[in-house]
Structure 1
Amino acid sequence: MSKLYGSVEAGGTKFVCAVGDENYQVIEKVQFPTTTPYETIDKTIAFFKRFEADLAAVAIGSFGPIDIDQNSDTYGFITSTPKPNWANVDLLGLLAKDFKIPFYFTTDVNSSAYGEALVRPHVKSLVYYTIGTGIGAGAIQNGDFIGGAGHTEAGHVYVAPHPRDTAKEFVGVCPYHNGCLEGMAAGPSLEARTGVRGELIEQNSEVWDIQAYYIAQAAVQATVLYRPQVIVFGGGVMAQEHMLRRVREKFKALLNNYLPVPDVTDYIVTPAVAENGSATLGNFALAKKLADK
């Protein structure tokens, strides 16, 4: 059998594990809830053990914050996450100890960014945001991730408050920061403002324009910081087509023609990889790259 490559999309809500071939075609894929660390990691190990004889490498894209500094004593750890029981968990170490193959470790949004860039061969600069239970972003320049001492935390930049939030003194749902992007625009902020889960809110509700206002600020930030060719917005909040339209409109108003950008319908988009598969595809490619070294 040809070599296989593993992908772990370690999310705060669920883990998605997959193995793929040298053409990045999925051989098998499973998902299960993110419960306690040991229960979740044991399920992950059991899945990959079935393919161990042909497995060449595995890439992990994890929720964070995580430590990606290979010279650090806590390399491979999930660090200061607010998710109960997962702070200071050695995710990489606990997974890799049962295998004799290399493991690549990065953020889930970096994995997704890598996958999205892979299906856009003409794109050398791309930013990928997940707008879901939390908010994160991965940025790629010429095939490499943006980052230095650690990965970026684009979900925790501060944003200008919407007038309605100012009037109601709403400062978001982030346990660390008042007024950051994640606190103001991630999925839980919808229910915090309205008392209704996001998927049950009518499309004509003004809350969607408030969300779009913050997400458009993220697009402006990405534009002025990285000058990407494409900005991709994934995650559950952006799954509704009306949100993409709202974000594009507000982005144009906020940027106010300050910088030249491509046509907004080509510039601000949703994922090109079907069925939320961006991270899986990216992880296959990262695992293969590691195995080929």
Structure 2
Amino acid sequence: MNIGAIEAGGTKFVCGIGNEHGEIFEKISIPTRNPVETIKDVIAFFDGKEIDRMGIGSFGPIQVNRDQSDYGTILETPKTAWKYFPLLQTIKSYFPKDMPFEVDTDVNAAAFGELKWGAAKGLDSCVYFTVGTGIGAGAVIDGKIVHGLLHPEAGHMFVKRHPKDDFVGSCPYHGDCLEGLAAGTSMKERWGKAGVDIHNEEAWEMEAYYLAQTAINALLTYSPEKIIFGGGVLNHPGLIEKVREQFSKLLNGYIKKDEVIKNVENYIVLPGLGSEAGLKGSLALVL
């Protein structure tokens, strides 16, 4: 079976072709511009290739309820050129009418891919946070992706401020929500440089403090069997270890399970699928 996969991100669209085992045979990265230019390149990649079905993991917010007429439409995104763009319907129009399609958020797809083939393989639940320009969250509980009213937007949860943090926050909606305090954008605004150039130990202790609260909130609300952190910010050496340390300190022994007391290094982890979590997750959506 040949499966088409699209990881539609705000910076780039990654398109690929793979199979039901999570193997990617071919892929391409396309810069995200306006919808017309971007979709033209996406369709050009798939042109002439044999595909049986397709999964799409997209930046959001996006309508994920199949019962709604705007299923697969990007909603109130700050990327103004894409606001209310019918992503799924536009792409479907280039393929046979009976070809199966599934669409979800990119981070929900990543969570699902990690459950099927990655760090949460063999489990029934996991929560995945991607920490990059913004912060997104995806959750799979009892083997099913969590939707509800829309889909998790836990990147905008409220967290306690670090005692030494006087940064106002970068989120245009909430100021100092999680994304406003801990996303790559907020780090750059607070410290005056991109994360890759930040060598201030205090900066990373502060980042770990916020991400540890993120993990605690996920544990206390979803009770997942695995918490996964991905995204460019997590590439910083030693950050995941700092998150685990702060997690244990802040949780203070409240949840008395070996997974979070004795084996936290196996509970809070980096993606098993690496940078392909979103693309492989998009494959998994249509299985």
Q: TM-score, normalised by structure 2?
A: 0.94
Q: How big is the alpha-carbon RMSD for the aligned residues of Structure 1 and Structure 2?
A: 1.3
- Corresponding position of 1:125: 125
- Corresponding position of 1:161: 161
- Corresponding position of 1:188: 185
- Corresponding position of 2:143: 143
Residue 129 of structure 2 is aligned to residue 103 of structure 1:
no
Distance 1:93 1:66 in 2: 13
Deviation track 1:188-218 (CA, whole Å, cap 9, x = no partner) reads 111111111111111x431111111111111
Deviation track 1:79-120 (CA, whole Å, cap 9, x = no partner) reads 111123111111111111111112101000111011111124
Amino acid at match of 2:175: N
Percent identical pairs in the alignment equals 45
- Greater shift after overlay, 37-46 or 69-78? 69-78
2:39 to 38, 41, 65: 41
Distance 1:122 1:78 in 2: 32
- Corresponding position of 1:66: 62
Residue 224 of structure 2 is aligned to residue 228 of structure 1:
yes
Residue 22 of structure 2 is aligned to residue 24 of structure 1:
yes
Distance 2:231 2:146 in 1: 21
Question: What count of residue pairs does the alignment treat as equivalent?
Answer: 279
Deviation track 1:144-170 (CA, whole Å, cap 9, x = no partner) reads 0112121110101111111222xx3x2
Deviation track 1:238-263 (CA, whole Å, cap 9, x = no partner) reads 11231101111111111111113411
Amino acid at match of 2:160: A
Distance 1:121 1:208 in 2: 30
Which structure 1 segments of 5+ residues have no match?
A: none
Report if the CA contact (8 A) 2:62-2:73 is conserved.
Answer: yes
Distance 2:136 2:91 in 1: 23
Distance 2:256 2:276 in 1: 31
Alpha-carbon distance, 1:21 to partner: 2.7
- Corresponding position of 1:286: 285
Deviation track 1:27-65 (CA, whole Å, cap 9, x = no partner) reads 1100011111111111111111231xx211111001111
1:218 to 214, 221, 237: 214
Report if the CA contact (8 A) 1:82-1:175 is conserved.
Answer: no
Amino acid at match of 2:121: P
Report if the CA contact (8 A) 2:196-2:236 is conserved.
Answer: no
Could you say what secondary structure the match of 1:280 adopts? helix
Deviation track 1:116-141 (CA, whole Å, cap 9, x = no partner) reads 11124321111111011111111111
Amino acid at match of 1:58: M
User: Any runs of at least 4 consecutive aligned residues in structure 1 with deviations exceeding 6 A, and if so which?
Assistant: none
Deviation track 1:221-273 (CA, whole Å, cap 9, x = no partner) reads 00001111110000001112311011111111111111134111011000111
Which structure 2 segments of 5+ residues have no match?
A: none
Distance 1:164 1:84 in 2: 35
Could you say what secondary structure the match of 1:271 adopts? coil
- Greater shift after overlay, 179-188 or 22-31? 22-31
Alpha-carbon distance, 1:220 to partner: 0.4
Residue 78 of structure 2 is aligned to residue 75 of structure 1:
no
Distance 2:285 2:85 in 1: 23
Amino acid at match of 1:35: R
- Corresponding position of 1:253: 249
Alpha-carbon distance, 1:22 to partner: 3.7
Q: TM-score, normalised by structure 1?
A: 0.92
- Greater shift after overlay, 116-125 or 106-115? 116-125
